[in-house]
Chains A and B, each alone.
Chain A
Amino acid sequence: MTDDDADSTSDGTPGEPLRYDQARWTEDADTYEPLLAEKTLDTVDVDSPLPDELTRETLELPALAEPELARHYTRLSAMNYGVESGPVPLGSCTMKHNPAFIEDVAATPAGLVHPDRVGETVQGTLELLYRLQDYLGRIGGMDAVTLQPPAGAAGEFTGIRIARAFHRADGDERSEVLIPDSAHGTNFASAAMAGYDVVTLPSGEDGRVDLDALEAALSGETAALMLTNPNTLGLFERDIRDIAEMVHDVGGLLYYDGANLNALLGRARPGDMGFDVMHYNVHKTFATPHGGGGPGAGPVGVTDDLARFLPDPHVRKTDGRYERYTPEGTIGKVHGYEGNWLVLVKAFAYIARLGDAGLADASAKAVLNANYLAERIDYEVPFGPFHHEFVASAGETDAADVAKRMLDYGVHPPTTKWPEIVDEALMTEPTESESKRTLDQLTAAFDAARGDDEAARADAPERTAARRIDQVAAARNPRLSWQALEDV
């Protein structure tokens, strides 16, 4: 395909969608031979210097040599789709490009130290953590930042534990956390784990917080309101100042879910909007790779009033030296050590590379890309104006089927069927990393997937490593290890 073909035409019709064939095993049953490691299980007798009663008799695992393993994992990687395979416009996930150099930065040997080292001997590590705390504080408009939580959900849990400690310090036992219905599942689960009853707020007509519903839900029992801003529909909560005042008036705290911070870099800061606590998803906003589901990091920023409750230890600078200390009202620990170091260094490297101008540009292009894509695709986008993401509706068509068909057109589909306030939702976040040309290809994939006949969608995907997988059957008969397979 030539460049011209791939590009959209100047009159605005998208080009042909890509065709994409993922690596897969042959269809020919006789020569179908996926490299299944369990077919090479080897049982060894365990001989050990320990007494027999403490040891196992045998160990049964695959025995493969490095050349076989190299091929095994290389083939598996060919059956996996990442951001470097093509666009991954999963809404709320911020699947932006992960710069290659941050991997090398994280591997810096001098940083590979043990966490039990005395602070005096790891001044470099503590300095880097301190600088990252400081960078994140500036970006979020927060007074103090802990790097300990190992993911966004852990950050939420940390933040809500901090809210609890804050209220308790005033002898105030509150029982509720308010969360809009469009929020991410972790918000509800984190608040419940932290010991609160969850009160779900229905969204208003315009997809934002309904101030009347909020007013009705707020009370002396309100420990916190958790908000994502822009919310999962990509909409900025325009009344955020009023919301903050209402929450603060009943003595509650305002929690910011930082999953969508990529929309706002350099343009607005949670701290300035009246948020008291926030988490950052560095694996979203700050480009650390998602690694097939993790690791991430979920630093938490707080205002001065809450800094004394931060997890133990916190890093500070005293007389030019860096030291760990225990905040006086600390909630304790949320990670066995001090968080996901390897991820934190990558985030630091990304922020240090981009600086003010780069960060602001990332947000600007993320928002431009979302607006452009929404404009181009032939789908209804019920709410606006949105920022870095939008939720399109597949209308009468099953969004999950549209997604499966998009796989055949060489792109990863958006997040489907969430948030529920949009029918057959396709929650789409292209990020700043995609070029106009890629967005045009995405547009073609969106439209072709919906334009295809229903049978094609129901049969999709057909060009991927596996055809449609029966998830219901998988859940009905869970087989979670080689040991549970009957067909080995």
Chain B
Amino acid sequence: MTAHGSPYVPHTDAEIEAMLSAVGAADETALFDIPEGVRFDGEFEIPARSEQAVRALVEGTLSGNDDLVEFLGRGHHDHYVPSMVEHLADRSEFLTSYTQYQPEVAQGFLQALFEYQSLLVELTGLEVANCSMYDAASALGEAATLAARVRAASGDRVLVPAHLQAGRRRTLENYVAGHDVTVESYPMTDGNADVDALDAMVDEETLLVYAETPTVRGAIEERLAAIGEVADRANALFAVGSDPVALSVLRPPADVGADVVVGDAAALGVPTAYGFGIGLFACREAFLRQVPGRLVGAAADDSGRRAYTLTLQTREQHIRRERATSNICTNQAWVALRVAMHAAWLGPDGLVDLANDCVTEARELAARVDDVSGVRAPVHDRHHFREFPARTDRPASAVAADLRAAGHAVHVVGDHEIQICATGTTADERDAFVAALEEAAR
């Protein structure tokens, strides 16, 4: 540590002297124009530590986490992230750069973001994808506020599936609260949308109908086109929630009438990280001027060469202020870079293989779980992606607690329902898991 306090301050004593004398100040304190009454003379009582000590502190603290094998998903999924992603995304020219307000020195990041947008355009079938929202929950919120802005009628209802991750639903409620929009859920039947019930609910006051595939319970939604028609009949927008792995095999949402696609793109690019994600947001070209967040466009520079730039910025808060399409400024750009890198590393074949594994591995594990006495799986007679609920004779919380004691984490989703996620990262642990479940379910 330098004599001055911060290890990240390069000044020598002589330079400090020279600079103070250049500005005509006796000392650093003289540069602060803070009235006496509001000066802080206390201490935070935060000790300075060496780099090594901080690492030890964080590692020591986090070692308080139990070492469990996680069969967890429900919107936050773990797929193996290739080393290339870490190494290349950590290049400091990417990592330490700012938003591309000076595109001439930011061509690299802009091109990567353009590639990310292009990936999502291919996967969703929609014409426009932005270069990120914070997470799936806020992306859903933005879809609803977009619906409130673009729809001709002055409706105030947003309809979402009863099977929806609580964080998404509750974030959505906050996003629309300022627009006097209400969120209601439509029922499910055997793990998919109850389209008849939905049809009965939709009316001219409906702004947006939202459906997910896979659902939070891992079921692939089989009647998206029918849901889209219901929405369409009422002039409501239709938003579909998904993720880039699932979309690598599922029908492009645009084909089944989606106007907007949202979801968590961090199924690629980042490991499980306590809910850290990236919201994907794509929509039809008709809504281009209403898109929230940043967009990268292809352009030309003065020499006529292909170049990239942030574009259509008049939608954004720094220009449009209270009439902006969203307040978002800092977003998840670096995560978008990682998602794009991971997808590129997999390539189209690799993406399809990964997605197919999500179907077959969930199917196989469900079959094994179903063989365990005291458990039936899957609960719904549906195709599943990565994960599925299982019904337990014993109370689910007791089963989950016994599994935890044996080193495995599952979701509890009902009094007698657990949910189990089977991505490739736990492939080697499944025998042990099934064995533990045999004990726990008894």
Contact = CB atoms under 8 A, between A and B. Distances in A.
A156 B88 CA distance: 33
A111 to B, nearest CB: 5
Contacts of A124: 61-65
B249 A56 contact: yes
B97 A387 contact: no
Interface stretch (A60-68, A300-308, A445-453): A60-68
B309 A188 contact: no
B311 A61 contact: no
Given A77-B94, A193-B327, A292 B409 contact: no
A359 B7 contact: no
B6 A292 contact: no
Interface string B315-341: 011111111101111111111010001
Interface string B254-298: 010000000010000011111111100000000010000011111
A120 B409 CA distance: 12
Nearest to A76: B108
A169 interface: no
Nearest to A322: B64
A468 B305 CA distance: 10
A152 interface: yes
Contact of B51 (A195, A283, A353): A353
A272 interface: yes
A43 B348 contact: yes
Contacts of B96: 82-85, 95, 98, 289-290
B48 interface: yes
A25 B301 CA distance: 13
Given A60-B122, A192-B323, A479-B298, A128 B58 contact: yes
Contacts of B78: 114
A90 B98 contact: yes
B73 to A, nearest CB: 8
Contacts of B344: 37, 61-62, 64, 69, 72
B11 interface: yes
Interface in B293-313: 294-303, 305-307, 309, 311-313
A335 B171 contact: yes
Interface string A275-295: 000000101000101111111
Contact of A464 (B98, B105, B312): B105
B178 A193 contact: yes
A228 B156 CA distance: 34
Interface string A175-218: 00000000011101111111110100000000000000000000
Contacts of B43: 356
A365 B99 contact: no
Interface string B322-366: 111011111111110100010111011101100110011001000
A95 B104 contact: no
B93 A84 contact: yes
Contact of B10 (A55, A192, A435): A435
**B34, B136, B165, B168 — most chain A CB neighbours (10 Å):** B34
A111 B118 contact: no
B438 interface: no
Contact of A290 (B70, B98, B411): B98
A482 to B, nearest CB: 4
Nearest to A241: B37
A232 B264 CA distance: 34
Contacts of A167: none
B15 to A, nearest CB: 4
Contacts of B49: 352-353, 355
Contact of A193 (B123, B175, B343): B175
B102 A403 contact: yes
B98 to A, nearest CB: 5
A118 interface: yes
B393 to A, nearest CB: 22
B103 interface: yes
Contacts of B122: 59-61, 481, 483
A79 B359 CA distance: 40
Contact of A478 (B104, B131, B288, B333): B288
Interface string B62-94: 111111101010111010001010001011111
A193 B176 CA distance: 8
Nearest to B279: A336
A138 B317 contact: no
A333 interface: yes
B94 A82 contact: yes
B327 A82 contact: no
A121 interface: yes
Interface stretch (B109-117, B193-201, B228-236, B371-379): B109-117
A37 B40 contact: no
A1 interface: no
A90 to B, nearest CB: 6
Contacts of B88: 69-70, 73-74, 77
Contact of A474 (B57, B299, B360): B299
B38 A468 contact: no
Interface string B157-168: 000000001111
A139 interface: yes
A355 B95 contact: no
Contacts of A371: 19, 23, 25, 31
A34 to B, nearest CB: 7
A169 to B, nearest CB: 15
**A141, A154, A189, A469 — most chain B CB neighbours (10 Å):** A469
A360 B5 contact: yes
Given A466-B301, A467-B301, A22 B62 contact: no
Interface string B26-55: 001101111101111001111111110011
B104 A362 contact: no
Contacts of A156: 327
Contacts of B311: 471, 474-475, 478, 480
A150 B135 contact: yes
A295 B335 contact: yes
B38 A268 contact: yes
A301 to B, nearest CB: 13
A12 B275 CA distance: 52
Contacts of A349: 54-55, 58
B322 A192 contact: yes
A423 interface: no
Given A48-B359, A273-B38, A333-B174, A81 B106 contact: yes
Given A128-B61, A189-B317, A295 B92 contact: no
A135 interface: yes
A483 B332 contact: no
B132 to A, nearest CB: 7
B406 interface: no
Contacts of A333: 137, 166-167, 170-171, 174
A101 B55 CA distance: 8
Contacts of A142: none
Given A351-B46, A465-B104, A418 B329 contact: no
B119 interface: yes
Contacts of A250: none
A236 interface: yes
A323 interface: no
Given A61-B351, A268-B34, A375 B329 contact: no
A395 interface: no
B273 A342 contact: yes
23 contacts: A66-B82, A114-B272, A114-B274, A118-B409, A121-B65, A185-B318, A188-B317, A189-B322, A193-B327, A195-B177, A272-B38, A290-B99, A335-B135, A337-B276, A352-B49, A356-B44, A371-B25, A376-B22, A436-B11, A469-B299, A470-B302, A475-B311, A484-B298
Given A266-B40, A474-B298, 11 more contacts: A56-B249, A59-B122, A74-B91, A77-B108, A154-B138, A185-B329, A192-B322, A195-B180, A290-B99, A292-B106, A354-B6
Cβ-closest 10 pairs across A and B:
A337-B275, A291-B334, A361-B5, A195-B178, A355-B48, A124-B64, A336-B137, A293-B333, A80-B108, A82-B96
